[in-house]
Amino acid sequence: MIDRTNYKLEVQKQLQQPWTIEIHPYSDGGYFARALELPGCMTEGDTKQEVLEMIEDAIAEWLAVAVEVGRPIPSPASARDYSGKIFVRTSSRLHRLVAEEASRHGVSMSQWAAETLAEAVGAATRQR
C-alpha cells in the first residue's frame, strides 16, 4: 500500500520538473500537445491556452499513475547530460560517400555530419 502523503509529495516534486511540451496546430483548427519525455502523455484542445492547460493536467495524471504503480519516471530532457558524441555504424559505401562529401566542403567528416544533422533538425550549427 502506498503512503498517500509521500505519494502527493512525489507527484508535486515531479510536477516542478521542466518537462518538454510540444504543441502542434491542426490544419483544420485546434491543437495537439504532448510531453516528450512521458510516453503516451498527450491531449488536444481548441486553443493554445486550452491545450496548454490540458497538457499540464495530463502530465499531473501521468505522474500520479506512475508514482502509484511504481513506474520509473524519466528525467526531463533539459536535466540530462549530453556528451556531444554520436556513434553511428554504417556501410563502407556510405562511409566513403560521406568522406568524399566532407572533403568537397573542406571539412572533417565529423564537422560535415554535425552541420548536416543540425540542418536536418533546424538547429544552429554554431558550437556551444
Residue ranges of the domains in the chain?
4-77, 82-121
SS3 126: coil
- Residue 45 CA to residue 26 CA, distance in Å, equals 10
Of 64, 85, 51, the C-alpha closest to 14 is 64
What is the pLDDT tens value at each position of the chain, 128 positions in all?
455 667 788 888 888 888 999 999 999 999 999 999 999 999 999 999 999 999 999 999 999 999 889 899 988 887 667 778 888 899 999 999 999 999 999 999 999 998 898 888 876 544 43
pTM: 0.60
Answer whether CATH 3.40.718.10 is correct for domain 4-77. Answer: no
What is the Cα 55 distance to its own chain's centre? 15
Stretch (H or E) spanning 42? strand 42-45
